[in-house]
Amino acid sequence: MAKRLSGFAGLAIAAALAAACNNGGSSTTTSPTPPSTSTTLTGTVQPGYGNFDFQTFTTSQAGEIDVTLTAAGPPPTITVGIALGTPSSDGTACVLSSTYQTLASASQTPIWMVSAPAGAYCVEVVDVGNAASPIAYTLIVAHS
């Protein structure tokens, strides 16, 4: 489980470097299909560094996936690790994307707005070592 959390720390550093380095390049982006369905996912993470819980959802067509952590706590300001991935073939684990891992607190602003193909996905919430009691969380996943 410690491996999971070390990725979150490295991700924060990589994200800061990427944001600081534009190199004047330009790129062309296409707009994904806006989300048409909203799924509420709830769960609980037991306290302890590296403990986690994950929830799955399925998109019916290619398009945008917006992930928002709307509640987590106690306390309501707790920071958790959060990652997007795909369920393992047997459904017992969430295979995390190295691109979509971050630290977050509850907010009404999406953590990610990802363009993705239709399919099965999962979101994992991790105690980063600051929970004194179980962390109840709510995620809103808007998708096509």
Judge residue 90's burial from the number of C-beta atoms within 10 Å of its C-beta, 0-12 exposed, 13-18 middle, 19 or more buried.
exposed
d(C-alpha 65, C-alpha 117), whole Å = 10
pLDDT at residue 13 is higher than 80: no
The answer to whether 71 and 136 have CB atoms below 8 angstroms apart is yes
Structure token digits, residue 16: 């800061």
* Residue 91 confidence (pLDDT): 93
Residue 32: beta bridge partners?
none
The number of distinct structural domains making up the chain is: 1
Domain CATH code at residue 46: 2.60.120.380
The structure's pTM equals 0.78
* Residue 31 confidence (pLDDT): 62
* Residue 144 confidence (pLDDT): 83
Domain that holds residue 63: 2-23+32-143
> Per-residue pLDDT tens for 16-60?
333 334 444 445 555 667 788 999 999 999 999 999 999 999 999
